[in-house]
Amino acid sequence: MLKTEIALSEKTILVTGAAGFIGANLVQELLRTVPGVHIVGLDNMNGYYDVSIKEYRLREIEKSAGAHPDCTWEFVRGDLSDRALVEGLFEKYRFSVAVNLAAQAGVRYSITNPDAYIESNVIGFYNILEACRRYPVEHLVYASSSSVYGSNKKVPYSTDDKVDNPVSLYAATKKSNELMAHAYAKLYDIPSTGLRFFTVYGPAGRPDMAYFGFTNKLRKGETIEIFNYGNCKRDFTYVDDIVEGVKRVMQKAPAKQTGEDGLPLPPYAVYNIGNSSPENLLDFVTVLQEELIRAGVLPADYDFEAHKRLVPMQAGDVPVTYADTSALERDFGFKPSTPLREGLRRFAEWYHEFYQV
């Protein structure tokens, strides 16, 4: 696919979900590495999980911004589903690149709270697309998810696979984002790239993710539940690898071209970003417990067997995720590679410091 090179230095960039796990790490990376970048971050700071972690991430961003006075950082507290707010930001700042990482996350939560997913993931994304139509950007990059693959039997998952069988509303909203982006790319020539993230983890991550939730429960002496009797595999991807992938993608937009019908060929692409190395959940838990002991989060004599329970598969879950990243490697020369133990070690050390264990 033909690509248009985009220089990020001195550009004004929108990052939605800027207080979120991936968003905050992306903002810090851009402030550290892109000269003269101007970043506007949008987040509604909702209480889906502990807001103090979001506030911690924002403080870390402020430190990065302070260390790079040639760059600017502005935080806007607001909701993606507020169309007037979104349009107002685009009108005021005329963004060169928009990175949409805001979404209501979580597969299981979507079963009991569907409204939140339609508001944020569908209406919110529609507002972004409309704003990009009215105030054109050089590139729209947005978060999709490995959950769009549903219960696909073929592994590794390729972006060439059909993804028409979501097993959760969350997955359905992410697939709808890809479809909407394709339509807007075709109709309005908006260069857009969707990124299917695979089980992102790391320091200051989301407490609803397994590694973080397990740690919280083990510290309290509670029992952790390992789904599908431990026969699940996940393509755990360290957050720094995700951020590096996003940054590279931001700088290469699908090229605008005209088709034989005289209409634009949609400048549209989708990539997987995953570690391409699925880990069995039981092995993952073993590495996690070893690193929690090493970091001093748990005592050396902790009885893990007494705090583990194997349970059936949860509704909306899938047994395996496994990314085929060959297209990402081909077009961007990049492949996530952080080993699981290294990533969990950094998480355990952060956890020890943040919670002053």
Q: Which sequence positions are flagged as catalytic?
A: 170
Q: Which two tokens stand for residue 276?
A: 């391409």
Q: Identify the DSSP state of 261.
A: T
Q: Please, which residues bridge with residue 12 across strands? A: 38
Cβ pair 128, 80 in contact under 8 A: yes
For 230, the token pair is 């431990």
Sequence letter at residue 151: S
What span, in angstroms and rounded, lies between the C-alpha atoms of 127 and 104?
A: 15
Q: At what angle do helices 239-250 and 21-33 cross, to 10 degrees?
A: 60
Distance CA 266, CA 258 (A): 9
DSSP 23-77: HHHHHHHHHHHSTT-EEEEEE---TTS-HHHHHHHHHHHHHHHHT-TTSEEEEEE
Distance between CA atoms of 269 and 164, rounded to whole angstroms? Answer: 17
Cα gap 271→273, rounded to integer Å:
6
Rg (CA), the chain: 20
* 8 A C-beta contact, residue 307 and residue 225: no
Distance CA 64, CA 71 (A): 10
Q: What is the DSSP letter of 146?
A: G
Other beta carbons within 10 angstroms of residue 85's beta carbon come to 16
